[in-house]
């Protein structure tokens, strides 16, 4: 393909530093040491040997939610396991049909992108009735991706445990927990990296949707304004998105699958490649913003928010424009692997 426009910028200003967003959160998932019974109660030895994630935070990364949410992860040869605990003084749900829009109830959600390219990722939701919704997205909504609603995680096992009572407005509950086993044979189908999960990391994030409610004749429902509009939901997440949008997979957290038994200790250090990818996604978002304002893509890097985005050390940054869009490339003299991003948000190596 011919590139009629080529803009090159050299930056020599120290190590990589982010000025606007914190780095995504990380978690190390170890192997199980015993059999996991999916009953919503994490009373197995394996669960006792691994830590919870840090507390969930509001999706924009600023406010602390009034109710705590934490998750644990484990894995074995057949399944990837999740256990979530959610404080909730009023546990309620009414949606009972699989693959309905579960986030119209309070829910717990899992987002998984095995190869970390933001394409072909999975979304899973469940409510306190143990009703689930699983779907596959070919691309984020920002790129007009298709939603494969009929896609299912075949063989998934789920359970809910309620500490209190369900749909009883006369008392105060402690909360509810969710336990999930997702088969690797399904999850790996969307892993196009050529690397298995073992000793590798995936992009994963969790969300908890929580609604303000009202009670009528003893029944819970989402609260409405005086004009009859539903009040907006709260979105509490593990790794902050910094926007009210879970469908920006590049901002999800990192889960590293350690091939050691639960109870071991390991600190996961992300490779430099992930900083490069985050820089490229910053440029991608800056290009999208520029086009929304000016009606066309920026043809020069200096027109983008490069100075505010990141400081790179000794890297050459290239912007190639062509008839179908553009590529932004990072050339690191110390690495044989080069990374780029296209106008559709897809990361590639060359």
Q: Cα separation of 340 and 160, whole Å? A: 43
pLDDT higher than threshold 80 for residue 7: no
What share of the chain in percent tops pLDDT 70?
92
For residue 196, what pLDDT is reported? 83
Query: Which whole number is the average pLDDT over 119-139?
Result: 97
User: Mapped to the 3 state alphabet, what secondary structure does the chain carry?
Assistant: CCCCEEEEEEEEEEEEEECCCCCCCEEEEEECCCCCCCCCCCCCHHHHCCCCCCCCEECCCCCCCCCCEEEEEEECCCEEEEEEEEECCCCCCCCCCCCCCHHHCCEEEEEEECCCCCCCEEEEEECCCCCEEEEEECCCHHHCCCEECCCCCCCCEEEEEEECCCCCCCCCCCEEEEEEEEEHHHHHHHCCCCCCCCCCEEEEEEEEEECCEEEECCEEEECECCCCCECCCEEEECCCCCCCCCCCHHHCEEEEEEEEEECECCCCCCCHHHHHHHHHHHHHHHHHHHHHHHCCCCCCHHHCCHHHHEEEEEEEEEEEEECCEEEEEEECCCCCCCEEEECCCCEEEC
For residue 315, what pLDDT is reported? 85
Return the exposure string of 289-319: e unless at least 16 CB atoms fall within 10 Å of the residue's CB, then b.
Answer: ebeeeeeebbeebeebebeebbbbeebebbb
For residue 24, what pLDDT is reported? 94
pLDDT band at 260, cuts 50/70/90?
Answer: very high
Query: Which whole number is the average pLDDT over 339-344?
Result: 96
Q: Convert the pLDDT of each residue in 282-325 to its tens digit.
A: 999 999 999 999 999 999 988 887 644 455 667 889 999 998 89
For residue 50, what pLDDT is reported? 98
Domain at 26-261, CATH class: mainly beta
pLDDT higher than threshold 50 for residue 18: no
Q: Where are the domains of the chain?
A: 5-19+271-349, 26-261
Extract the tokens encoding 207. 């969300």
Distances (CA, A) of 125 to 111, 204, 267: 9, 14, 29
pLDDT higher than threshold 60 for residue 14: no
For residue 350, what pLDDT is reported? 87
For residue 15, what pLDDT is reported? 37
Q: Convert the pLDDT of each residue in 70-128 to its tens digit.
A: 999 999 999 999 999 999 999 999 999 999 999 999 999 999 999 999 999 999 999 99
pLDDT higher than threshold 90 for residue 205: yes
Q: Cα separation of 32 and 37, whole Å? A: 12
Residue 154 burial (CB < 10 Å; 0-12/13-18/19+)?
exposed
pLDDT higher than threshold 90 for residue 199: no
For residue 167, what pLDDT is reported? 97
Q: Convert the pLDDT of each residue in 37-59 to its tens digit.
A: 999 999 999 999 999 999 999 99
- Residue with tokens 């304004």, as numbered in its chain: 225
Mean pLDDT of the chain: 91
For residue 22, what pLDDT is reported? 80
- Global pTM reads 0.92
Q: Cα separation of 303 and 4, whole Å? A: 18
Residues contacting residue 187 through CB under 8 Å, at least 6 positions apart: 80, 112, 114, 122, 153, 197
| Strands 219-222 vs 325-331: parallel, antiparallel or unpaired | unpaired
Q: Cα separation of 70 and 76, whole Å? A: 21
CA angle (36 as vertex; 106, 210 as ends), nearest 5: 10
For residue 310, what pLDDT is reported? 52
Extract the tokens encoding 157. 């096992």
Query: Which whole number is the average pLDDT over 150-175?
Result: 97
Residue 199 burial (CB < 10 Å; 0-12/13-18/19+)?
exposed
pLDDT higher than threshold 50 for residue 11: no
């Amino acid at each position: 393909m011919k590139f009629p426009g080529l803009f090159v910028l050299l930056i020599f200003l120290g190590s990589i530093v982010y000025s606007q967003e914190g780095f995504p959160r990380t978690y190390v998932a170890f192997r199980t040491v015993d059999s996991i019974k999916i009953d919503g109660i994490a009373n197995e030895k394996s669960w006792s040997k691994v830590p919870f994630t840090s507390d969930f935070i509001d999706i924009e990364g600023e406010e602390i939610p009034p109710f705590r949410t934490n998750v644990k992860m484990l894995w074995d040869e057949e399944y990837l396991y999740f256990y979530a605990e959610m404080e909730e003084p009023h546990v309620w749900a009414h949606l009972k049909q699989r693959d309905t829009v579960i986030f119209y109830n309070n829910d717990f959600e899992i987002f998984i992108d095995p190869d970390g390219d933001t394409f072909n990722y999975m979304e899973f939701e469940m409510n306190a009735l143990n009703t689930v919704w699983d779907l596959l997205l070919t691309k984020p909504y920002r790129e007009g991706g298709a939603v494969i609603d009929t896609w299912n995680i075949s063989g998934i096992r789920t359970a809910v445990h309620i500490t209190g009572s369900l749909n009883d407005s006369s008392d105060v509950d402690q909360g509810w927990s969710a336990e999930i086993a997702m088969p690797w044979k399904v999850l790996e189908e969307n892993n196009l990296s050529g690397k298995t999960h073992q000793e590798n990391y995936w992009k994963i994030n969790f969300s908890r949707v929580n609604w303000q409610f009202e009670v009528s004749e003893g029944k819970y429902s989402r609260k409405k304004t005086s004009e009859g509009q539903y009040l907006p939901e709260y979105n509490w997440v593990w790794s902050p998105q910094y926007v009210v949008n879970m469908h920006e997979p590049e901002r999800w957290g990192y889960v590293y699958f350690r091939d050691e038994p639960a109870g071991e200790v390991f600190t996961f250090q992300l490779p430099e490649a992930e900083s490069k990818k985050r820089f490229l996604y910053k440029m991608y978002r800056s290009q999208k913003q520029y086009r929304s304002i000016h009606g066309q893509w920026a043809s020069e890097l200096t027109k983008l928010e490069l100075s505010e985005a990141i400081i790179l050390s000794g890297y050459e940054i290239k912007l190639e424009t062509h008839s179908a869009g553009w590529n932004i490339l990072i050339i690191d003299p110390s690495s044989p692997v080069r990374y780029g991003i296209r106008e559709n948000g897809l990361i590639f190596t060359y």
